[in-house]
Structure 1
Amino acid sequence: MDFKDDARLDTSQVESGGRGGFPGGGLAVGGGAAGIIALIVALIFGVNPGNITGGDDPAPVNPSSNLASECKTGQDADQNEQCRIVGVVNSIQDYWPEVVQNYTPAKTVMFSGRVNTGCGAADASVGPFYCPADQRVYLDLSFFDELQSRFGAKGGPFAQAYVVGHEYGHHVQNLLGTNAKAEGDRQGPESGSVRLELQADCYSGAWAKNAYKTGLFAKPFSQTDIEEAISAASAVGDDSIQKRTQGRVDPEGFTHGTSAQRVKWFTTGYESGDPNKCDTFAGGV
């Protein structure tokens, strides 16, 4: 993944929450902080709450509060992880207004340790998530190390880009009202939750195919980049996580899709470059 050296970064789309984080509030989803966090995880990324919250917290990566001064150009994005996140967010939000009428930008909040959100309090163990109540994506950058060390992904810059693209896929779903299709259907191999997650993977792939057109990247993504995304998608499949954590696979407990399904739908989005091909709610998954 290579940014144009002279591409201009817009840091206004990213906030640095720091430790303690963004002052949240707003409508709480579910009941109680634990229920809110569990619901966020179940709705958003692809890891069952009980599987990601166990064990020691990951070492925090403190986000810089000087993004505006540190992240000005694509050259900065190639050299600095936080600036790279800014560049990816900029590209994603340049892409979606072209395909979603009246697209409303969503900010990303980078935090360390713990953060307060419109959906309640969360800590680093939750991983990346999107909060519909305040329309923000939340990232603790230490999660990307966890993706490699605990979930076996290859890692790499484009694994991060895939994750960010997935979270913004949830923002698109929120804007389009797709979330309502999963209400009351949270578990099972063809549940609404699984379909919601797989569609977000597909949306991430559709952005990836069109990212070069946003003008921030020096060239289209390479096969190596795409393999990093595929590795990340495979690592957080329900079946892979269940095998690793409980030694068996229980399809009735699926909330996000198998490794094969996650790879299939990211690939569908990437190969077609068309979000309209991402209708996981029509037919089988």
Structure 2
Amino acid sequence: MTFNPNADVTGSSAKRRGRGPAIAGGAGFVGIAVVVISMLTGVDLTGLVGGAPQQGQDEGTAIANCQTGEDANTDDACRLDAGEEVINSFWSSTLEGYREPTLVIVEGSTSSACGTASNATGPFYCPPEETVYIDPAFWSIVRQQLGADAGSLAQLYVLAHEYGHHVQNLIGVFEQYPRNGSGEESNAVRTELQADCFAGAWVDAAANQKDDNGVSYMKTPTQQEIDDALEAAAAVGDDHIQEQSGQVNPESWTHGSSEQRQRWFMAGYDGGVDACDTFAVSGSEL
């Protein structure tokens, strides 16, 4: 998804944080399994792949040279920083009482209240801090080990998914539907699919969000960009991940199948936030 080159994205407030080397992208199946299990859960499992040690928390530095939509179109970190601005704009106008989470762009690794953040743990939302952690180096893992292109809209889909978890935190989903247990119809899967749906709703509305000068932040997504986001959704489906090990076990699912993740993304894209109550549907409809 492309930003309008002259859009003003300087209001974004993401911070770079991190010290030390990142986990290498070629961690093999065990590594990518850790990425998927850790992604979005706030549970640090980097020890399973010899992950980076806990680092001392630092204050972080602002993203440099991220002022226009053109900057966001050419730099992954800036794209996330600018994406934060558009996602917050959407939710501020959609959800009464919305408050913005913190976005941390990880460099190497950094500590959080939910464990170490790095490209080995993948992007995640940490509820106690109301903070999203994401390392742009994660895209190389998606490309190399999961076979997705991880283009611009795919990256923003992942970011919007994490912000969907923040919305769930604000509206009480985590308390009402604890994500203990696993399986095709589990609360864990329903939680992830709802975040996918929220992401789809944002993608549909993103081109309507404007900067202080009345310029649309983003262009309407092309079909190719939508397909790229759907490819990313499929790549992180539980069944696709498990196929890498040769055994698919739906009873262990925590994020949903590739088909489910694509379908709920499109449910949000076509129907908006009101179409995203994954907890109200029966298992056959999930």
TM-score, scaled relative to structure 1: 0.83
Check if 1:182 corresponds to 2:177: yes
What 5-or-longer segments of structure 2 have no aligned partner? 22-33, 53-59, 211-215
1: distance between equivalents of 2:266 and 2:160? 13
Tell me the equivalent position of 1:127: 122
Match for residue 90 of structure 1 among 85, 88, 92 = 85
Compared CA separation, residues 174 and 119, structure 1 to 2 (3 A): same
Q: Report SS of the residue matched to 2:134.
A: strand
> 1:70 and 1:193, CA in 2 relative to 1: closer, same or farther beyond 3 A?
same
Structure 1: unaligned runs, 5 residues or longer: 22-37, 58-63
C-alpha distance in 2, partners of 1:2/1:112?
Answer: 24
Q: Find the partner of 1:196 among 183, 191, 194.
A: 191
CA distance in 1, matches of 2:41, 2:221: 23
Which amino acid in the other structure matches residue 279 of structure 2? Answer: F
What residue is the counterpart of 2:163 in the other structure? Answer: 168
Structure 2 Cα separation of the partners of residues 227 and 205 of structure 1: 12
Question: 2:107 matched to which residue of 1?
Answer: 112
Which aligned pairs between 1:173-252 and structure 2 lie closer than 5 A?
A: 173-183=168-178, 185-215=180-210, 216-245=216-245, 247-252=246-251
The correspondence of residues 6-45 of structure 1 with structure 2, limited to 5 A, is 6-10=6-10, 12-19=12-19, 41=37, 44=40
Equivalent position SS for 1:126 = coil
Report the Cα distance in structure 2 between the residues aligned to 1:253 and 1:197, rounded to whole angstroms.
14
Deviation per CA, 1:64-119, whole angstroms, max 9, x where unpaired? 9452x401111211222221111111110000011111000012101122211122
Structure 1 residue 156 corresponds to structure 2 residue 151: yes
In the alignment of these two chains, the number of paired residues is 259
Deviations 1:109-140 (A, max 9, x none): 01122211122333331000000011110011
CA–CA separation in structure 2 for the residues paired with 1:48 and 1:237: 20
Q: What is the root-mean-square deviation of aligned Cα atoms in Å?
A: 2.8
Deviations 1:246-276 (A, max 9, x none): x11111101110000000100101111x111
Deviations 1:21-75 (CA, angstroms, capped at 9, x unpaired): 9xxxxxxxxxxxxxxxx8x94572799969x964898xxxxxx9452x4011112
Match of 2:270 in 1: 271
TM-score (norm 2): 0.82
Moved over 3 A (4+): 40-43, 45-50, 52-57
